[in-house]
Structure 1
Amino acid sequence: MSSPFDLPPQQPAAPAVGGHAEDRDTRPQYVLPLVVRLERTDPPARTDALETSARAVLTLLADPRVTEPDGEWAERVAAWEDARIRKVVRRARGGEWRRAGELPGITVTGEHGAEVRVFPPIPLDGWPKELAKLQVSGTDLDDPEPPGPAPEGRPVLWLNPDLEMSAGKTMAQTGHAAQLAWWELDDDRRAEWAADGFPLAVRTAPAAAWPALTDGHLPVVRDAGFTEIAPGSCTVAADHPAVRLRRP
Structure 2
Amino acid sequence: MKNLTIRKNLCAQIVHDLGRQILGGEIQPGQAIPNESVLCERMGVSRTVIREAVKSLAAKGLIRSRAKLGTTVLPSVSWNFLDPDVLEWQAQTDVDGRLLRHLTQFRLGLEPAAAAFAAQCASDDQLQTIRDAFQAMEGAVENAEDFLVADLRFHTSILHATGNPFFSPVANVIRAALKSSIRVTNRQSAENRKSIPLHHSVMQAIWDRDSVAADHAMRTLLGDARARIQKAGGGKRPSTLLPNPQPESSVQSHE
TM-score by length of 2: 0.28
Larger strand percent: 1
Larger helix percent: 2
Higher relative contact order (CA 8 A, sep 6+): 1
**Which structure has the larger Rg over C-alpha atoms?**
2
TM-score by length of 1: 0.29
